[in-house]
Amino acid sequence: MPDRPLTIAGYAAGASLAAITLVYVFGPTFFLDDEYAHAAAAAGRKKGVVVGLSNPANDCFINSVLQALAGLSDLRFYLIREVHRRKLDGPETYRVDADEPPLRRSNGKEVPPWKIEGLRQGIVTVALKDMLDRLNERPLYKKIISAQPFVSVLERAFRQRISRQQQDAQEFLQVVTERLCDEYHEGRKARERIRRLRRAGYSLDLPSIDVGEDGGSEVMPMPPLPQSGGGQDGEPQRDDGEGEEEEEGFPFEGKTESQIECTLCHFTPKALSETFTTLPLTVPQKSSTSLNECFDVMLKTEYIDDFKCEKCRLVHAVEVKERELRLARSETQKEKLDVEISKIYDAIETDPEKPPKDVELPDIKLAPKRRIARHHRISVFPKILAVHLSRSIYSTYSTKNMAKVSFPEALPLGGLLDQKKYRLLGVVTHKGGHNSGHYESFRRQVPLAPFSTPHSFGNQGVYSTSVSPNPSTQPQQQQQQQHPPPLPSDLAARVTVPRGIMPSSPASSASSVSSRSSARQQRLGPAPTSAPRDDASAPAAANGASSSSSSSARVSLAPPAGPRPGSRASARAPSVVDVARLKKKAAAAARKAGNRWWRISDEKVQQSKTSEVLGMQKEVYLLFYELDKRAMGEDE
């Protein structure tokens, strides 16, 4: 009896030690797994969500822009195409030759050769593609990467550091998109230069490296470009030659057009066109507004007073010349004034912006002042519309406009005849004041097109070879020959086998299968194929099938009238109600999939809904709209 309490105490001490050991060993792993399980359940996935970005030095403005760009399928299409195109063309197409004339910008400054070479090679394009590919991974577990590789390439492209003091997401987006646009245009000019050299008769298939007399290697200079007329602003003029493919431009690039009109003479000079990659919209200073009102502020008609109209100035010059003509006394002076008046009239009728050079006009200070109306419009709509909501208020102290801006999920732009419909795919928000705060991004959970094949390719598809317009039914015959259907007992007694043909011979079974296959082909129509089917081949195939079935009817077993129970032919055809129900289910599934968003704050990723995204009216800063392929009749 005295030993029993000691035994119980020993068991209790051992159990306590075992419990402490379990907690010490498995406690941290359990809590980590439990924390991750809760995060994964909140994200709506069993394991993992999307890749996050680390924030070592106030890089939230960089991370939010990169996450928003990762959800744009048209941008990823463009990056894949440009990188692949440069690999196919080779480095010799985009190199800078020593005898090549220097490139000058509109302000007259010469662009250094190292920058031209970087633009032609597309170093930022390649780096952004690699970055977005990594962000579009679907890891099994939580994964965080750094944006420093892309930032390093961007700093090397401009040879300067990116300041972390301003921390403006719009400025970073502007730098990236303008650089990508410049790289596209420089690459296009280089390809156009090679095409013009080939059309001029130069052989560009020779190797660019030749061995000199001393045994070393030297680079052979590319022959100079033949002199030809150029386009506007120094752009090379494109020839409409055969065999040239029209390139798809940079998806962020659009154009706005500004047109002025005199309210008195209604003269409209040449419109001024301006290229943009991000569209800035000023937010009105009120408690709440909408995105449509912000567009109205930019696109509304603006009236300007005290403007010197070119046509009104010429009309005033005619009046002055006619008054001088009435006062003139010598014939020589009268003839001179008559000639000048006729030249001014010709300029008024043809182009008032080009007055005659040999006619002395009155001083522009004496020209009448008119009121003009200035109209703005978007002349070229980009594939991806990046909208910047400018919330800065500049006065004695710079402050932030905290107005609520409601924005739609579907954005129609343009006129009634050429209306464009955009779909919201990304949002960048900012919380805080004008000098401090934090950026977050929202990405729509859409299946990106580079990772899906929504339709089969035909003869013109990618990596496809020429196929026959009519598919072969030989695999179906072999499958039916290996598993022949059993013969009903009531037909076995009535079967008569012709003389000289064995029932189990391969010829009879093959012909029987061929007749059934051809008859089934006639009832169900031609089998689906990825290649475009020739219309003329359909009747021939039907006639061939009927002739083969009639010739083999004497040696094959005649099938019973009507389909067998349980066969595919006996299945009930879908009715109109069934088709409507299926369409309704598909539409509901599409709406449910389109309602899912990712809310990303650096390395923290959560699941969100469209209602939550549209509710960020006070924090919205950047909007990313993409042309709705569903409205254009295309598959996503």
Q: Given this model, what pLDDT does residue 8 score?
A: 73
In the chain, the amino acid numbered 508 is S
- Residue 347 corresponds to which tokens in the numbers above? 């300029």
Share of the chain above pLDDT 90, in %: 40
Q: How is the chain split into domains, by residue range?
A: 18-47, 255-376
| Residue matched to tokens 């052989």 | 203
Least confident of 235-244, 278-287, 480-489: 235-244
pLDDT for residue 633: 55
pLDDT above 70 covers what percent of the chain?
64
- The pLDDT assigned to 51 comes to 92
For the stretch 567-615, pLDDT in tens is 544 455 667 777 777 777 776 766 666 789 999 999 999 999 999 999 9
Give the mean pLDDT of the chain: 74
Is pLDDT of 289 > 70? yes
60 flagged as catalytic: yes
Q: What is the model's pLDDT at position 540?
A: 44
Token digits of residue 148: 């420093």
Residue 185, φ and ψ in degrees, nearest 5: -70, -35
**Active site residue: 38, 60, 181, 376, which one?**
60
Confidence of residue 104 (pLDDT cuts 50, 70, 90): low
Task: Give catalytic status of residue 438 as yes or no.
Answer: yes
pLDDT, position 536 = 43
What pLDDT is stored for residue 219 in this prediction?
43
- pLDDT tens-digit profile of 182-199? 999 999 998 888 888 878
pLDDT of residue 107: 62
- Catalogue the E-assigned strands of 515-618: 596-601, 604-609
Label residue 448 by pLDDT band (50, 70, 90).
low
DSSP state of 317: H
Of these residues, 181, 266, 438, 483, which one is catalytic? 438
pLDDT at 628 over 80: yes
Q: What is the pLDDT of residue 469?
A: 44
The predicted pLDDT at position 208 comes to 42
Query: What pLDDT sits at residue 571?
Result: 53
- Is pLDDT of 118 > 60? yes
What pLDDT score was predicted for residue 196? 85
Query: How does pLDDT run across 23-55, given as a tens digit for each residue?
Result: 555 554 444 444 444 444 444 444 447 899 999
- List beta partners, residue 256: 274, 378
Query: How many angstroms separate the CA atoms of 619 and 171, rounded?
Result: 17
Q: Which residues pair with 377 in a beta bridge?
A: 257
pLDDT digits (tens, 9 = 90+) for 197-244: 878 776 555 444 343 444 444 444 444 444 333 344 434 343 433 444
**149 three-state secondary structure:** helix
- Evaluate whether 401 touches 391 at the Cβ level (below 8 Å): yes
Give the per-residue pLDDT at 179: 95
Q: How many CA atoms lie within 13 A of 495 on its CB side?
A: 16
Q: What is the DSSP letter of 232?
A: G
The pLDDT of residue 316 is 93
Q: Which of 217-226, 335-344, 366-375 is predicted with the least confidence, judged by mean pLDDT?
A: 217-226
Cα–Cα dist 228/231, whole Å: 10
Beta strands in 182-253 (DSSP E): 209-211, 217-219
Beta carbons of 582 and 32 less than 8 angstroms apart: no
Residue 500 pLDDT > 60: no
